[in-house]
Amino acid sequence: MTVIAIDGPAASGKGTLARKLAAHFDFAHLDTGALYRAVGLLVLRSGGNPEKAEDAVAAAAKVADVNLDDPELRTESTGAAASKVAAIPEVRQILLEYQRSFAAHPPRGKKGAVLDGRDIGTVICPDADHKIFISADVETRAKRRFLELFGTQGTNEEYQKILAELRERDDRDMNRSTAPLKPAENAHLLDTTNSDIEAVFERALSLING
């Protein structure tokens, strides 16, 4: 069983890379960030507080009921809520076993799994066969998310709001006490600031194939 761990901050390109690698190798793919987004969305829908452990834990227990393809999972408000619930140790513990089980027993009989998130190589799958940490400067990531959400129709005010939210999320993710965002010691580092996805994909393939 082959496990590929892809970590990195929001809008760094880790999800796109993970999907391309999974398709290339015919492996199962799990966007672990979607699990936290699902928890955050459940909290928001229930009128709860994503920073309150009781609300977040109650939502985490129901995460299997959420459609991980729900477009609302991709909104900035859900992303911000996801970052907050992810800082709660009890939530991380609930989702930990789900992620590890996916990696150990990929669905549909696949021979491997690609997981992307923020602590795959450090916490979820520390023994992953391949670890890649994707990064890009925050302005580039904000521009990508801006274009993803608004295309050419967005305003500078909307861009500045996304930039501020990403900076806030980076600070929260990197400085939380439980499983902070950081590269695993043996991870390959890929900076995507000045690279398109095809170049990043080819580089990742060369690292994996050795």
Q: Which residues contact 8 (CB under 8 A, 6 or more apart)?
A: 14, 116, 118, 133, 134, 135
Does residue 204 have a pLDDT over 90?
A: yes
Please give the backbone phi and psi of residue 108, each rounded to the nearest 5 degrees, phi first. Answer: 60, 25
> Looking at residues 120-148, what average pLDDT do you find?
95
Does residue 202 have a pLDDT over 80?
A: yes
List the domains of the chain with CATH numbers.
2-209 (3.40.50.300)
Provide the sign of the torsion angle of the four alpha carbons 98, 34, 89, 44, taken in this order.
negative
Each residue's pLDDT tens digit, 32-90: 989 999 999 999 999 999 999 999 999 999 988 888 889 999 888 998 899 899 889 99
Strand partners, 2: 112
Each residue's pLDDT tens digit, 159-201: 999 999 999 989 988 988 878 889 999 999 999 999 988 999 9
Does residue 210 have a pLDDT over 80?
A: no
Place of tokens 């507080």: 49
Q: What is the mean pLDDT of the chain?
A: 93
Please give the backbone phi and psi of residue 190, each rounded to the nearest 5 degrees, phi first. Answer: -125, 120
pLDDT for 123: 93
Range of lowest pLDDT (19-28, 170-179, 200-209):
170-179
> Looking at residues 16-32, what average pLDDT do you find?
96
Q: Which residues contact 74 (CB under 8 A, 6 or more apart)?
A: 37
Range of lowest pLDDT (18-22, 94-98, 155-159):
94-98
pLDDT for 69: 87
Range of lowest pLDDT (124-128, 151-155, 160-164):
151-155
Distance CA 188, CA 132 (A): 5
Does residue 130 have a pLDDT over 90?
A: yes
Strand partners, 91: none
Distance CA 85, CA 35 (A): 11
CA gyration radius, the chain: 16
What one-character DSSP code corresponds to residue 114? E
pLDDT for 176: 84
